[in-house]
Amino acid sequence: MENSQVFTPLCIQLVRTGEASGALDQMLQNLADYHSEKTHQLAENLTSLLEPMLLVVTGTIIGTLVVAMYLPIFHWGMRLAERDKRWRRKRQREALQAVEHAVLLFLHADKGGAFGQLFQARGTDVGAR
């Protein structure tokens, strides 16, 4: 038993003591209880170490999934906002061009513009002022 190096020194000492005292069964029972308690403590320590790590890993996985689901929605919203912005700029340019066109028509009324034709039809000369 000593040469195999499989057993701990405590195990070898308890077996020697049990053989010497004639209570080998009691010593083996004590050894079994000791190893059982040590195994339970090791399992509890491992559990207390693994629980926070598993919580972090689970949170990371769930967070990654949430970001992966919502990121395309955010990109889509940004593209819609950009398209809306371009549409508004286009409408503003069109409105500005319409105002410019109306002002040009008004300013050039005496040169045959729409207002000039309107006033000439009434017999009023706009350019004479």
Does residue 2 sit within a domain?
Answer: no
Region 106-127: mean pLDDT is 57
For the cut 60, the answer to whether the pLDDT of residue 5 exceeds it is yes
The position carrying tokens 């970001």 is 67
Per-residue three-class SS string for the chain: CCCCCCCCHHHHHHHHHHHHHCCHHHHHHHHHHHHHHHHHHHHHHHHHHHHHHHHHHHHHHHHHHHHHHHHHHHHHHHHHHHHHHHHHHHHHHHHHHHHHHHHHHHHCHHHCCHHHHHHHHHCCCHHHC
Does residue 3 sit within a domain?
Answer: no
Does residue 48 sit within a domain?
Answer: yes
Residue 46: domain span? 9-128
Distance CA(91)–CA(83), nearest Å, equals: 12
Does residue 26 sit within a domain?
Answer: yes
Domain count for the chain: 1
For residues 109 and 115, the answer to whether their CB atoms sit within 8 Å is yes
The per-residue pLDDT for 112 is 57
Does residue 54 sit within a domain?
Answer: yes
For the cut 80, the answer to whether the pLDDT of residue 116 exceeds it is no
Q: What is the pLDDT of residues 16-73, one digit of tens each?
A: 888 888 888 888 898 899 889 999 999 999 999 999 999 999 999 999 999 999 998 9
Distance CA(12)–CA(26), nearest Å, equals: 14
Name residues whose C-beta falls within 8 Å of residue 30's C-beta, 6 or more positions apart in sequence: 14
For the cut 60, the answer to whether the pLDDT of residue 90 exceeds it is yes
The per-residue pLDDT for 59 is 96
Does residue 124 sit within a domain?
Answer: yes
Its pTM surpasses 0.85: no
Distances (CA, A) of 107 to 100, 102, 126: 10, 9, 10
For residues 15 and 1, the answer to whether their CB atoms sit within 8 Å is yes
Q: What is the pLDDT of residues 12-25, one digit of tens each?
A: 888 888 888 888 88
Does residue 85 sit within a domain?
Answer: yes
